[in-house]
C-alpha cells in the first residue's frame, strides 16, 4: 500500500509540473490524516462481452416439383418485368418527342414573329420613303410653276351706314366659328415636319 501511495503522489507531482511548467516550487504538504486521503485504485480491465454465436439455419430442402414451380414463377416474373420496362421505355420516348416538338414550335413562332417585325419595319420604312419622294416631287412642282402676278387691288373705302343689331344672335348660331379646312399644301407641310426627324 505504501508503494502505491508513493507512485500516486509522484504521478500527481508530474502532472502538476506539466501544467505549471515547473515554475512554482512545490509546497510542503501539511499532514493530512490518512482517513481523509482517498486512494485511487487502478482501473480494472474491462471485459469485452462475448458476441453470441449465430445459429446457422439449415437450408430448406426443396423437391423437384417445387423447384420447377419456382423456376416457372421466376420465368413469368422476368417476362412481365421485361414487358413493363419496354412499355416504360416507349412512354419515355413518346414524352421526349412531344417535348421536342413543343420546343421546336416555340422556336418557329419566335422566328416568325421576328420576321414579321422586320417586314413591318421594312414596309414602314418603304412607306416613309415613298411619302418623302411624293413630298419632294410636289415641292418641285410648286417651285416650277411660275408665280401668278397679281395686280394690286385698289381698295375703295366702303361707305356704309352702321347696322343696328336687334334681338341678339341669329337662330342656329352656336357662337363657335369653324376653322377653314386644311389645304393640301398645309397638309404636305405638316407631314414634312413630322417626317423630317425619322430617317436621319
Note the pLDDT tens digit of each residue in 55-74.
888 888 889 999 999 999 99
- One DSSP character per residue, 58-101 reads PPPP--HHHHHHHHHHHHHHHHHHHHHHHHHHHHHHHHHHHHHH
- Residue range 75-84: average pLDDT? 96
What average pLDDT does range 64-85 have in this prediction?
Answer: 95
Confidence check: pLDDT of 154 > 80: no
What confidence category does residue 27 fall into, taking pLDDT thresholds of 50, 70 and 90? low
* Predicted pLDDT of residue 68: 94
- Helix%, strand%, coil% for the chain, nearest 5: 55, 0, 45
Task: Check residue 45 and give its pLDDT.
Answer: 60
pLDDT cut 90: percent of the chain above it:
22
**pLDDT by residue (tens digit) across 106-116?**
999 988 888 88
Predicted pLDDT of residue 43: 56
pLDDT of 32 > 90? The answer is no
Between 98 and 47, where is the model more confident?
Answer: 98
Instruction: Give yes or no for residue 192 having a pLDDT over 70.
Output: yes
Whether residue 195 contacts residue 131, with contact meaning beta carbons closer than 8 Å, is answered with yes
Question: Which class for 189: exposed (0-12), middle (13-18), buried (19 or more C-beta within 10 A)?
Answer: middle
Lowest mean pLDDT among 44-58, 66-80, 109-123: 44-58
pTM for the whole structure: 0.30
Segment 75-85 mean pLDDT: 96
Residue 12 phi, psi (nearest 5): -65, -40
Decide if pLDDT at 94 tops 90. yes
pLDDT for 115: 85
Amino acid at each position: 500500500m505504501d508503494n502505491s501511495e508513493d507512485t500516486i503522489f509522484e504521478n500527481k507531482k508530474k502532472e502538476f509540473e506539466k501544467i505549471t511548467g515547473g515554475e512554482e516550487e512545490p509546497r510542503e504538504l501539511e499532514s493530512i490524516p490518512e482517513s481523509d486521503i482517498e486512494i485511487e485504485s487502478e482501473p480494472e480491465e474491462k471485459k469485452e462481452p462475448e458476441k453470441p454465436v449465430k445459429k446457422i439455419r439449415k437450408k430448406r430442402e426443396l423437391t423437384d416439383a417445387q423447384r420447377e414451380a419456382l423456376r416457372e414463377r421466376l420465368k413469368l416474373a422476368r417476362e412481365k418485368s421485361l414487358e413493363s420496362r419496354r412499355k416504360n421505355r416507349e412512354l419515355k420516348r413518346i414524352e421526349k418527342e412531344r417535348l421536342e416538338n413543343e420546343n421546336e414550335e416555340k422556336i418557329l413562332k419566335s422566328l416568325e414573329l421576328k420576321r414579321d417585325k422586320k417586314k413591318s419595319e421594312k414596309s414602314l420604312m418603304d412607306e416613309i420613303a415613298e411619302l418623302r419622294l411624293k413630298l419632294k416631287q410636289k415641292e418641285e412642282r410648286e417651285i416650277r410653276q411660275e408665280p401668278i402676278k397679281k395686280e394690286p387691288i385698289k381698295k375703295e373705302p366702303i361707305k356704309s351706314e352702321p347696322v343696328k343689331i336687334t334681338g341678339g344672335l341669329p337662330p342656329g348660331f352656336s357662337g363657335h366659328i369653324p376653322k377653314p379646312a386644311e389645304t393640301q399644301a398645309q397638309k404636305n407641310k405638316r407631314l414634312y415636319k413630322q417626317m423630317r426627324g425619322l430617317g436621319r
